[in-house]
Amino acid sequence: MKTSKLGAEAVKIETGGTVMLGFPRLADSKVLSHAISTRVGGVSQGTHGSLNVSFKVSDDPLRVEENRELLSRATGMDLKKAVWVDQIHGDKILKLDAKNSPKGGTLGEADGLITQTAGVPIMIQVADCLPVLFYDPIHKAIGLAHAGWRGTVTHVAAKTLLAMGENYGTRPEEVRAALGPCIGPCCFEVGEDVRIQFADVFPWAAEVMEGSTKDHWKLNLSEANARQLIEVGVKKENLIRSELCTIQNIDLFYSHRAEASAKKQTGRMGVFMMLEN
Ligand SMILES: [Zn+2]
């Protein structure tokens, strides 16, 4: 295993040719396993090259299974048991517990997933959208949120945290939240329609949007979610940021915006968390 610093607070972990990211400040690996996969070290071909974890982007399912197997070995989590949600850019949060615990697979459509169940990896999938990883060390609870600009406007990250509060007693001031790689303010150009929706719900909208050309703005998705979480009580010092742009680091990450078109799709990075027993 080889590790090196990457971005603001992430580390790049290379094991057996498979490359992942982690956040040393999120949690001790004895209590919580976590990883964000990259596109490096898998068996997928073409625009899916090479470590795609998604069965929904027209990749060969056998290659996706092999990629997940490679990641099981690299992360030490049995990803055959992984539970995920089918993401729809909304604000619904699902809970994994003893009652609905499947033997691996989807819980249904949602963009947030929370649990206190140990030994079962939870997962979301990203390619430009921001993944947020929550860890509550007091109540031993975890959560994942998938936030593109739509999810950000609907407060999906804050709602994931609130759902942890309602279900597990999680208090925002005790939570650590890691913001993974996403499309950065350097590359994320949005139009007037998006600016208006942000301005409608966030008093600080103008501070996360820089004007570039007329009617076009550069949106800082990561900063918008950081502010949203601070507003509901997350401490600044408990926010762990990667500050990595998917497009600027296209050799390491998939970017839907840079790579996908009507004719071809790109792959997805997996974001995994699992409470240890
Ligand atoms: Zn960028």
* Distance from residue 177's CA to the centre of ligand 1 (Å): 22
Rg (CA), the chain: 17
**Number of Cβ atoms within 10 Å of the Cβ of 262:** 5
Find all residues with CB under 8 Å of 13, minimum gap 6, and list them: 1, 2, 3, 19, 20, 21, 22, 35, 74
Q: Residue 250 sits in which domain range?
A: 2-275
What tens digit of pLDDT does each residue of 151-186 get?
999 999 999 999 999 999 999 999 999 999 999 999
Average pLDDT on 195-207 reads 96
Number of domains comprising the chain = 1
Predicted confidence (pLDDT) at residue 101 exceeds the cutoff of 80: no
Query: Among 166, 192, 176, 237, which residue's Cα sits nearest to residue 31?
Result: 176
State the Cα–Cα distance between residues 3 and 18, nearest whole angstrom.
12
Centroid of ligand 1 to alpha carbon of 258 (angstroms): 10
Cα-to-centroid distance, 161 and ligand 1 (Å): 27
**The domain that contains 8 carries what CATH number?**
3.60.140.10
For residue 99, name the pLDDT band (cuts at 50, 70, 90). confident
Please state, for a pLDDT cut of 90, what percent of the chain lies above it. Answer: 92
| 148: confidence class by pLDDT, cuts 50, 70, 90 | very high
β-strands 105-109, 93-96 pairing: unpaired
Q: How far is the CA of 188 from the centre of ligand 1 (A)?
A: 7
Give residue 59 CA to ligand 1 midpoint distance, Å.
26
Residue ranges in the chain assigned as alpha helix (H): 61-75, 149-153, 156-168, 192-201, 221-231, 256-259
- Residue pointed to by tokens 């998939």: 254
Mean pLDDT of 28-33: 95
Closest to 178 in 3D by CA, of 127, 125, 136: 136
Amino acid 15: pLDDT: 94
Reported as a single tens digit per residue, the pLDDT across 213-265 is 778 999 999 999 999 999 999 999 999 999 999 999 999 999 999 998 878 89
Q: What is residue 264's predicted lDDT score, i.e. its pLDDT?
A: 86
Q: What is the mean pLDDT of residues 35-40?
A: 98
Sign of CA dihedral 23, 157, 224, 216: positive
pLDDT at 79: 97
pLDDT at 100: 79
**pTM to 2 decimal places:** 0.97
User: If you measure from the C-alpha of residue 243 to the centroid of ligand 1, how many angstroms do you get, rounded to a whole number?
Assistant: 10
Q: Is the pLDDT of residue 145 over 90?
A: yes
